[in-house]
Every structure is written in C-alpha cells, then in structure tokens.
Amino acid sequence: MSIASGLPSPIRRVLQEGELVLEAPFTRRIFTNRDLAFDQISVIGFDMDYTLALYRQDELEALSIRCTLDKLIARGYPEALRDMQADPAFAIRGLVVDKTYGNIIKMDRHGYVGRAYHGKNLLPKPTRKALYRAQRLGTERERFAPVDTLFALPEVTMYAEVVDRIDQRPDLWPSGPPTYAQAWNDVRECIDQAHQDGSLKDLIQADLPRYFQLDLELGPTLHKFRSAGKRLFLLTNSLLPYTESVLGYVLGGQMSAYATWRDYFDWIIVGARKPEFFTGNQPFQELDATANPLGRPIGEPRRGRIYNGGNQLGLQASLGVHPDEVLYVGDHIYGDIVRSKKSSGWRTALVVEDLEHELGIRRDRQIPLKEIEQLSSLRISLADELSAQRYLSRLLARMTPDDLVRQGVAPEAAESLLADTRIQVRRRFDRLRKYEEEMATTLERRIADVDEAFNPYWGSVFAARRDSSRFGAQVESYACIYTSRVTNFRYVSPTRYFHSPHGSMPHWHSSAK
C-alpha cells in the first residue's frame, strides 16, 4: 500500500508530481529474502552491464552469434553454419551445459534434472532419467558449465545449433566433427575473443540505440539516492572507453544538475576484474578522462577520481563505513552477488531482468496457477491414500479365515467376510487410482500450458518441477533483495525497511490433533 493512500487527492497529486510518492507498477516490485533496513544503507554500488545499462537482448544475441560465427569459421568450422536459424527464446538463465553428452539441462534446487535437450531436441523421459539419475549434478567443472548471466545466453543458443550439425551433418567437417566438449570450448573461446579483442563492443558502440534500452527513470532514481544522503559508486569490469560510451548514452542529459554521467558517482572503478576484485589485492590505477594512467598505482581510491582495477579491501577503506552499510547492486550471481556477499559483508541486490516477464505471466495466469497449486496438493493427498490402500490390500491378502475365527467370527461367515472386504478395498483402490490418473493428466496439461507462456522450451526461469529451479534457489540464497531493474527503487522510500517473509519448517504447518 502506498503511503499516500487515504490522503486527500489534491495532496496526493502534489506528492506524485514532485516524485515524492510514486505508485509502483505490479511488475516493478522489489522482493526481499533477508531483512534490510534501507535507512541504514549509506553507500550504494552498481555494476554497469545489465544493471545500470540494460541491453536489447535479441539484438545483442544476434550480434554475439554473428561475431562468434566469424571466429568459429576462421577456426575451421563449416561455412554452412551461417545458415542456422537461432531462436533467441531457446536459452534462459540457470541452465547447465553437459559438455560430455552435448546436452543442455535444467535442474531444480536439489539437482534433479527435470528437462533436458540434446542440441535442440527434447530428450525423452526414459533417456533423461537414464543419464541423470544422480542428484546434485553440475559440480564436476570439467563436465558441466553453468549458465548464470544474460551475457552467456548466446553461447548456449550457438552450442545447441552446433550440436545439431555435429549429429545431422558430420560430413561438414572433412576431418570429422569435434566432440561435444570441444565444440563447447570452441564456442566459449570464440565469444570470449569477440569480447576481448573489441570486435563486439566496437559494433555496439557504433550503434548504441540499437543495443541498449533507454530508461528515462535512471537519472532520477540515482538522484533520489543522492538526495537521501546516500553516496554512490560504480564498480564494473568494463574498461573506461566502453563505460564512457554506454553510460554517456543511458545517463547523459537526463538531469540538468549532472553535467556528465560521472557526476552521479562518488567513486568510479572500471576494469575491476570481478570476482577477483573481492578476493585479490590488485592496486588501483588512477585514470584521466581519456583512460591514460595518472601517477603510480595506489592501495586506496580517492573520492571523485576514476580508477582501473583495485580490490574490495581498498575500496571499503575509502568508503569509511561498516560493510553492512553498503548495498551492492548487480546482475551476476557469482561475479557480483556471491563474492561480494561472502568476501565483503556487503548487502546485495540482484537485478533479474527476467522478473518483469515472470510477474506478467503470473498475473495473467492467476487462475491456472491457483488450479495447479490445488491439484498438486490434492495429488499428494491421493498418493498418501493410495499408499495406505495398497498396504491394506497386502495385509488382507495375507489374512486367512482362521484369523477371523480367532476374533469371534463364525467359521461359515469368515471366508465370505474376508472375500467381500478384499473386493471393497480393491474397488476403492481402483476408483482412487483412476481419479488420480485423470487428475494427473489435467495437472500436467495445466503445467504445460503455463510453462509454454513462460518459455516454450524451459518454462519459468525461477521454477522447476513445482519447486525452485537451480537459478531460483541461488536468488533466494545469495540476494538480500532482488528486482527487475535499478529504476524500481524510484518507487521505494529511502527509509524503507525491507521485511522478508520468514520461512518455516514443514512441521510448523501441521495443527495439533
């Protein structure tokens, strides 16, 4: 509920026009995993890519695939790969690549594989189960590669297409196709090269409007933080020339009080090399506005300057506050959130761009989602009842008329009583099983319909098998708060206390009997 609700409408309009109180759209909410007193946060840090600067994902993926194809073909991959029709909807965050078998899998929080594709072909359930019976998959680094960032999605899409060519057209490689593992390594290395040699970023910088969303709320959101007395810093792996271009586009000219994007930040750290930034001791190299080094590297950055590299301990010392008074906002589970939380003690906010789509689908599919929840609960009850009836049938099968006679039943009635009881129990079991099968069919159909709305290949990013997905569990475990974009904070009071819905153990839900 808004703090302005209940006030006279003229006063409410004045507050909203002055942007003192704004109503948050449904899909722009902020969610809490661990209590966080925003009023106690005095410093807020930001990543840049997919945090302050949001890419147009379809355009970026198409460009990444094009650049990667050039490098793959230069390595000896067939020219025919250029004919691939890559589907940008295929890859989502939270997947895991099985390099040994050329499979792409989605797991729940317990490591159970509920869906798997070989290339872009869905594996039948028996095949999937035969391959992935073991729990806690994905820990063998040589075999499994996690996909946790939006930057990584093009390589998954590319890899699926390459696997299909290896299977269907091995003749395209005169000396024989690569192994699935080698194909993955080649795709990964080629994408890395495209990022490192500047070929990808040069094309992005040449047409910024094509590759970036322009969110006109970004400047006002950062200004709101500063007006509330919070100091801001930028901490990005991107180098200064790229950072200058991107933030100049997404922030430049938004507010007259800020001559350039740099004026929003008290500290600017580029080329940070996260996650090593949080564990290493690399010094800070001061840069001028054209990225030229100034003086010798130092151990602690000074406010109002631009630095390359550095480390968390040095930055923390410069901030001059306790670690739990710092909130770091990023999009990368491991590079931004896990390392910053484990190594620094900073509070964490995860930007999950997928959340807006997720919330929109959940709003539009409220009725089938509620039906799924009710049917799932009923199915559990039915399974318990069927188990009880199955056990009862086994007990009755072992029982003899003599057992009843010893209980006082007349000998001439014991056999018919036992036979009638067995028939009744069997009929009840068959009736329950038929109902359970019909309900299971309805449940699976509803789940398939809703999954199709989330993503036609994988369903929800956050859920798997009616439980949290691997990615969803990571969000729960490592992010204090999470939301779809930085500008959602514009709708939140700078003094808000974020309360988490504290969890409870399963036995706490049962009432005394």
Nearest to 312 by CA among 263, 262, 269, 264: 269
DSSP 8-state code for residue 89: T
Nearest to 495 by CA among 228, 131, 315: 228
Q: Which CATH architecture has domain 29-54+212-354?
A: 3-Layer(aba) Sandwich (3.40)
Amino acid sitting at position 406: R
Domain coordinates in residue numbering, the chain: 29-54+212-354, 57-209, 362-460
Question: How many helical (H) and strand (E) elements, i.e. helices and strands, does the chain have?
Answer: 16, 18
Q: Is the pTM of this model over 0.95?
A: no
In whole angstroms, what is the distance from residue 240 CA to residue 150 CA?
Answer: 22
Position of tokens 């793959």? Answer: 72
In whole angstroms, what is the distance from residue 66 CA to residue 311 CA?
Answer: 35
Position of tokens 């890395």? Answer: 192
Half-sphere exposure of 481 (CA within 13 A, CB side): 26
In whole angstroms, what is the distance from residue 353 CA to residue 485 CA?
Answer: 6
State the distance between the two ends of the chain, measured CA to CA, in whole angstroms.
38
Burial of 406 (0-12, 13-18, 19+ CB in 10 A): exposed
Q: What is the pLDDT of residue 477?
A: 87
Q: What is the pLDDT of residue 513?
A: 43
Per-residue pLDDT tens, the chain, 513 aa: give them. Answer: 455 556 676 766 655 555 555 677 888 999 999 999 999 999 999 999 999 999 999 999 999 999 999 999 999 999 999 998 889 899 999 999 999 999 999 999 888 999 999 999 999 999 999 998 765 665 677 899 999 888 899 999 999 999 999 999 999 999 999 999 999 999 999 999 988 888 899 999 999 999 999 999 999 999 999 999 999 999 999 999 999 999 999 999 999 999 999 999 999 999 999 999 998 999 999 999 899 999 999 999 999 999 999 999 999 999 999 999 999 999 987 766 776 666 678 999 999 999 999 999 999 999 999 999 999 999 999 999 999 999 999 999 999 999 999 999 999 999 999 999 999 999 999 999 999 999 999 999 999 999 999 999 999 999 987 789 999 998 988 899 999 999 999 999 889 999 988 765 666 655 544
Complete DSSP assignment for 393-428: HHHHHH--HHHHHTTT--HHHHHHHHHHHHHHHHHH
Task: Give 95's strand partners.
Answer: 147
Q: What is the pLDDT of residue 138?
A: 56
Judged by DSSP in three states, 148 sits in: coil
In whole angstroms, what is the distance from residue 490 CA to residue 221 CA?
Answer: 5
In whole angstroms, what is the distance from residue 375 CA to residue 396 CA?
Answer: 31
Q: What is the pLDDT of residue 467?
A: 85
Q: What is the pLDDT of residue 148?
A: 87
Question: Cβ(51)–Cβ(351) under 8 Å?
Answer: yes
